[in-house]
Amino acid sequence: MGDRERDIEAIRAFNRIYTERLGLLRPKLDRSPFSLSEARLLYELAQGDTVTAAELSRTLGLDPAQISRTLKRFAGQGLIETTPHPGHGKRRVLSLTQQGQAAFAALERNTRATIGGLVDSLPAFRARRLVAAAEAIASAFEASLPPVPHLRSLRPGDLGLVTARQAILYARDYGWNAEYEALVARILADFQESFCAERDAAWIAELDGEMVGSIFLVHGGTADVGKLRLLYVEPHARGLGIGKLLVATCIAHARALGYARLDLWTNSVLVAARGIYERAGFRLVGEEPHHSFGQDLVGQIWSCDLRTGAGRGEQV
C-alpha cells in the first residue's frame, strides 16, 4: 500500500535474489579452507585495525567464545601470533604471521575471482548498473553523518539535468506539458550563450553528491536589475533548508555583483517556493493569469530590493 510498504517489499525482493546469487549464506566459501566467519576474521586482522579478541567480537558481531576457539585454531595452524598488550595484562594483541598473510592473500584472490565471475556472467550493460547500484547502497550505509547539502558551480550536463528534473517534476505534479521543458531548455541555452561572470551565476545543490536543486542568477535588460530563475528543490530533499540556502546565496551574490534589485517570475501553484521567496525578502509586485504549459496558471512577479537589508537573513 503505502510507500514504506513498497520500499520494504523492494528490499526484501532484492535480499532474496542477492542472497541466492552471491551465495552469502554459503558458510564455506568456494574452494577455500575458511568458513565465512573465519574469512571475515582474517580480513579484520589483515586490516590491522582490530587487534584484540574483544574488538573482533564487537566489530564482527560474533560470540567471544567462537572467536576464542577460532583464534586458537588459527594459532595452532601458525596463521596468527599473539603478543602481550602493553599496559593491560589480560589483553592479547593479535597479528597475522607471514603464513597468515599468505593465507589471507589467497583468500582475497579467491573472493575476487568469485565476484569477477559474477560480474562477467552479466551482460556488460547490466554489470555497469550493478556496480553503480552497489556503490549507491554502500555509500548510503557507510556515511554515519546525516547528509549535508552543499552548493557547487556548473558542470557539463547540469543544464540538461536541471531541464530534465524540472520537466519531470512539474509534469508529474502539475501536469505541465513539453512546452515548459522547451522553455527551460531555451532559458538555459540563452544563459550559457550570454554568460558573463560579472552579471550571471548558477548554483547546483547537492546531497551525497547527487543533484537535488538549482538556482540561476541572470542579467536582464536593465543593468542594475538581476533575475532569479529556475529555482527548484527535489521533493525528497525538501525540509533541509536547501531552497533557502540557494536563494540566500543567489541574493548575496547579486548584491556583491552590484545589482540594485532582483526580480523573479513564478506561478501561483508553486506554493513551496513562494514561502522561500517571502522569507528571503521578496515582495509580490504583480500577478497575471495566463495559459501556458497546457494549464491555466497565474503568473507572479516578485521583487527584492537589494539596497535595503532584505535578504540578509535577518528574517530567519
Partner DNA sequence: CTCCTTTGTTGACTCTATCAACAATATAGT
Partner DNA sequence: ACTATATTGTTGATAGAGTCAACAAAGGAG
Footprint on residues 65-94 left by a copy of itself (CB under 8 A): none
Look at the chain and count its residues: 316
- Out of DNA, a copy of itself, none, which partner does residue 285 contact, by CB within 5 to 8 A per kind? none
Q: Does 111 bind DNA (CB under 7 A)?
A: no
Residues 43-72 that bind DNA (CB under 7 A): 52-55, 62-72
Grid cell digits, residue 15: 535480499
| Complex with DNA: residue 36 or 119, whichever CB lies closer | 36
Residues 106-145 that bind a copy of itself (CB under 8 A): 111-112, 115-116, 118-119, 122-138, 140-143
d(CA 166, CA 169): 5
For DNA, which residue of 32, 35, 101, 292 counts as binding (CB under 7 A)? 35
- Closest distance of CB 60 from a copy of itself, Å: 8
Helices marked H in 177-257 — which ranges? 178-193, 242-256
Phi, psi of 212 (to 5 degrees): -130, 10
**How would you list the strands of the sheet with 261-267, edge to edge?**
150-152, 201-207, 210-219, 225-233, 261-267, 295-305, 283-292
Candidates 36-44, 159-167, 197-205, 251-259: pick the segment binding DNA (CB under 7 A): 36-44
Distances (CA, A) of 155 to 14, 159, 213, 279: 34, 8, 14, 29
Q: Does 164 bind a copy of itself (CB under 8 A)?
A: yes
- Out of DNA, a copy of itself, none, which partner does residue 68 contact, by CB within 5 to 8 A per kind? DNA
Q: Does 77 bind DNA (CB under 7 A)?
A: no
- For residue 301, what are the β-bridge partners? 265, 286
| Complex with a copy of itself: residue 106 or 285, whichever CB lies closer | 106
Candidates 15-23, 48-56, 73-81, 250-258: pick the segment binding a copy of itself (CB under 8 A): 15-23
Provide the terminal-to-terminal Cα distance of the chain, rounded to the nearest Å: 38
Grid cell digits, residue 94: 593479535
Q: Residue numbers of the site for DNA (CB under 7 A)?
A: 25-28, 35-38, 52-55, 62-73, 85, 87-92
